[in-house]
């Protein structure tokens, strides 16, 4: 993430007066250095929180945008800029920008998988400081996001954090809490599954799944549940999988011998071999990592 220019707590001229003059309209006056700095910070936030396409439970655009909002909130800490020179000889007073805050979460309810899931709107208060008088206005930036990150791409800061009208009610909003289950592979899963597969007789795949699941330790973390057990059988060859690309247990058993399989992370991703019982049944040549 790019460097942020901070200094919200910096001393200002004694006796400075701030006069509220409303929200800055998009397409108005050219941004001053403090505004440019916080727009850069807003764009950096969009880049930092990017990437939810591989997350489960976020198929609905509204849920996807809420996850982006949850990721964005801690990134707002420490934002802001100034006091800085206004850059305008007609206005020599320094300018500062308050910390960014989240003021709108606007999902695209009917968006397709490849479309933007919606926008986050961030606001900052811009203050022109003077020993005699000053002015304050609020500027807002819109971060339009798809499942891979900024919908405008990664390079154009002004497009990623686009000027936008501020909401009528300028109040900070909080994203919804994350209630999705966290799928984990229990600590005893490998030992239990190895023992069950090593002693397998004529049991069906479903019966082997049940035998493993019945002995798994119960996860104790908040929102944690044990990963489902998936077994596939081809005669004496048995494949077992638990988990996902981030935490995958793959076992292959044949004639009482059980081996754990270790694949390259990219091979476990959706659309590749994946963390699946069918993957465990593949020959070693098919499991070779890509070059």
- Domain ranges in the chain are 20-164, 182-287
Largest CA distance in the chain: 89
Beta bridge partner(s), residue 84: 95
Q: 262: buried, middle or exposed (CB in 10 Å: 19+, 13-18, 0-12)?
A: exposed
Rounded Cα–Cα distance for residues 196 and 277 (Å): 15
Beta bridge partners of 139: 124
- What value does the mean pLDDT take over residues 3-18? 34
- At 135, is the pLDDT very low, low, confident or very high (cuts 50, 70, 90)? confident
Residue 88 pLDDT > 70, yes or no?
A: no
Which two structure tokens, joined as six digits, stand for 105?
A: 């979460």
- 142-200, pLDDT tens digit by residue? 999 999 999 999 999 999 999 999 999 999 999 999 988 889 999 999 999 999 999 99
Spatial separation of the C-alpha atoms in residues 200 and 277, rounded to whole Å = 16
Q: Per-residue pLDDT tens for 210-260? A: 999 999 999 998 889 999 999 999 999 999 999 998 899 999 999 889 999
Position 12 scores a pLDDT of 32
Three-state DSSP class for 182? strand
Look at residue 205 in the predicted model and tell me its pLDDT: 97
> For 231, what's the count of Cα atoms within 13 Å in the CB-facing half-sphere?
23
């Amino acid at each position: 993430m790019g460097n942020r220019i901070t200094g919200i707590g910096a001393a200002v001229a004694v006796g400075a007066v701030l006069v509220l003059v409303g929200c800055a309209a998009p397409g108005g006056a050219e941004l001053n250095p403090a505004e440019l700095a916080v727009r850069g910070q807003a764009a950096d936030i969009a880049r930092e929180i990017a990437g939810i396409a591989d997350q489960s439970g976020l198929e609905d655009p509204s849920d996807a945008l809420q996850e982006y909002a949850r990721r964005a909130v801690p990134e707002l800490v420490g934002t802001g800029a100034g006091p800085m020179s206004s850059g305008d000889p007609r206005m020599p007073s320094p300018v500062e920008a308050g910390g960014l805050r989240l003021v709108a979460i606007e999902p695209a309810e009917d968006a397709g998988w490849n479309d933007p899931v919606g926008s986050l709107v961030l606001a900052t208060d811009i203050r022109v400081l003077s020993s005699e008088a000053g002015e304050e206005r609020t500027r807002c930036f819109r971060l339009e996001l798809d499942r891979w990150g900024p919908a405008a791409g990664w390079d154009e800061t002004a497009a990623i954090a686009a000027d936008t009208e501020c909401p009528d009610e300028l109040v900070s909003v909080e994203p919804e809490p994350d209630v999705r289950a966290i799928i984990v592979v229990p600590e005893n899963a490998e030992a239990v599954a190895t023992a069950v597969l090593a002693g397998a007789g004529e049991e069906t795949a479903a019966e082997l799944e049940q035998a493993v699941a019945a002995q798994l330790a119960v996860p104790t973390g908040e929102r944690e549940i044990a990963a489902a057990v998936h077994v596939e059988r081809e005669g004496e060859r048995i494949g077992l999988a638990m988990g996902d690309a981030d935490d995958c247990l793959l076992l292959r058993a044949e004639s009482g011998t059980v081996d754990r399989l270790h694949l390259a992370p990219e091979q476990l991703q959706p659309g590749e071999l994946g963390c699946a019982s069918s993957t465990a049944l593949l020959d070693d040549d098919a499991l070779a990592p890509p070059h």
